Amino acid sequence: MSKTVLLVEDEPNIIEAISFLLERDGWTVRIHSQGDDAVDAVLRVAPDVLVLDVMLPGRSGFDILRDLRSNTVTKDLPILMLTARGQTKDRELAESYGVSHFMTKPFSNDEMLGKVRDLYTASADKP
């Protein structure tokens, strides 16, 4: 059974590029493009790794991250946050909410793929 990534992102062409890369790497990719019901989508899909954008329609990625970390089901879910808001305060906010990794746009494909793999491996290795 293949590993699943849930991609919460609202830019269609970024979705297409990331989906293409992850699927060629052997991942099952599920897409969600709204912020307001993203937590429900995560609970429904139960992904192995979550790739989460910050600027989403309806709700910010920071709020979604905070809710996921306070939920016992998703508190340890590997979460890679992607954002065009790369200021130090944004990074610090994401880290304070418990993000697994924070990556600023534009990113390289290899870097993004490598980080998704690393997060999954680190999570799978946990007892």
Residues interacting with other proteins, by CB under 8 A? Answer: 11, 13-14, 16-18, 20-21, 24, 55, 84-85, 105-109, 112
> What is the nearest approach in angstroms of other proteins to the Cβ of residue 121?
23
Of 15 and 41, the one with the shorter C-beta distance to other proteins is: 15
Q: For residue 44, what are the CA distances in angstroms to 9, 58, 79, 103, 125?
A: 17, 19, 16, 25, 24
The CB-of-124 to other proteins minimum distance in angstroms stands at: 26
Dihedral sign, CA of 62, 9, 11, 120?
A: positive
CA 104 to chain centre: 12
Minimal distance, residue 103 CB to other proteins, in Å:
10
User: Cβ(35)–Cβ(55) under 8 Å?
Assistant: no
The nearer residue to other proteins, 20 or 46, going by C-beta atoms, is: 20
